[in-house]
Copies of this chain bind each other. A is one copy, B any other.
Amino acid sequence: MIENDFYLSPTQGDFRLHDLGNLILDCGETLRGAKLAYRSFGTLNADRSNAVLVTTWFSGTGKVMQDVYVGPGHALDPAKYFIVIVDQLGSGVSSSPHNTSGPQAMARFPTLSIGDDVNAQARLLAEVYGIERLALVVGGSMGGQQVYQWAVTRPAMVDRAAPIACTARISGHQRIFVEALKEALTSDPAWRGGWYGAGSEVRDGLDRLARIVATAGWSAEFYTQERWRSVLGMSSLEDFMSGVMKAYFAPMDPHALMAQMHKWQRADVSRHAGGDLAAALARITARTCVMPISHDLFFPPAEAEADAALIPGAEVRVIHSVEGHMGLNGFEPGYMAQVDRHLSDLLAR
């Protein structure tokens, strides 16, 4: 077990940890003393009909979802909804290789799946709040992969689903891209077979990962328009790479990122229907609004639209953002205005 201040409250804000005890994982192993980090906003109404689950994406935690997506003036308004944000397993705050002690620590941590997240979240919602039904599940990127997993495997529990900037089944393009990210970390001699002494020792690997994320996380137009200047306030491309990309990943734990990437690379709801994506998505009963980002190089709108065509009654709302996939962070004000409008419409349906 490694101490990493980045994943504690001074940085991550207020959150609670729910102890799930034994969590039987899709890989067959049982994660012992599994913990989920969560935070809630608003009040659960008497018939428990206003619960909204917000999931987290790769490298993100509940903090960014809280800061960007939830609050007065947003569709996810605590005055109306009881909003629970849950950190995914391996987020660095929830159970992760580096914050686990004993025989499942570090390189011995079991491999996770998106299905494990949804199983764990369902238990948390039931055990802590008695919630059996969700008015909405919403999340972006890997968070959206969890939304699809919820909607396909627990249709009776999901009234509405809003997968943002993701696909229901990982593409070949994403699989090889994520593999390049993993190799950036494991090729660092400081990785030491997963037995580094502190995450910061793997600094070269984290820097390389940051640079590769930058090649597809933002759009070509983002770079051509030098929006690292206008939107992010950086003085040069190098300043952006150092001050935004590398600075973002530097404090994180490499194993936490690896655990998430393993899930990201394998997210595929079709495995619940023998590989038949159409059959899997046909199980969705939630009112679904699929929300790709116009300039997303990770999850191109056309792929999200192909998913939506297989979901009964699904609507597609393309979010326009030159930031591409990274637009998820809400850097430009226009992004959240679109998300809020689409989520409000969905919640009103």
Residues of A within 8 A of B (CB): 171-173, 175-177, 179-180, 183-184, 187-189, 204, 208, 211-212, 214-216, 218-224, 226, 228, 237, 241, 297, 300, 302-303
Contact = CB atoms under 8 A, between A and B. Distances in A.
A237 B179 CA distance: 12
B211 A179 contact: yes
The 4 closest A-B pairs by CB, nearest first: A172-B223, A173-B223, A173-B220, A177-B215
The copy count of this chain in the complex is 2
Contacts of A211: 176, 179-180, 183
B297 A176 contact: no
B172 A215 contact: no
A173 B300 contact: no
Contacts of A179: 211
Given A220-B300, A300-B220, A215 B173 contact: yes
Contact of A187 (B175, B177, B187, B300): B187
Contacts of A297: 220, 297
B187 A204 contact: yes
Contact of A175 (B171, B216, B237): B237
Given A171-B224, A176-B211, A179-B211, 19 more contacts: A171-B223, A172-B223, A172-B226, A173-B219, A173-B220, A173-B222, A173-B224, A175-B237, A176-B214, A176-B215, A176-B223, A177-B215, A180-B211, A180-B215, A183-B208, A183-B211, A189-B189, A216-B216, A220-B303
A325 to B, nearest CB: 12
Contacts of A224: 171-173, 303
A295 to B, nearest CB: 11
A212 B222 CA distance: 20
Contacts of A237: 172, 175-176
A141 to B, nearest CB: 15
8 contacts: A171-B224, A173-B223, A176-B223, A180-B211, A187-B187, A212-B215, A220-B303, A221-B302
A262 to B, nearest CB: 16
A35 to B, nearest CB: 34
Contacts of A176: 211, 214-215, 223, 237, 241
Contacts of A300: 220
A299 to B, nearest CB: 9
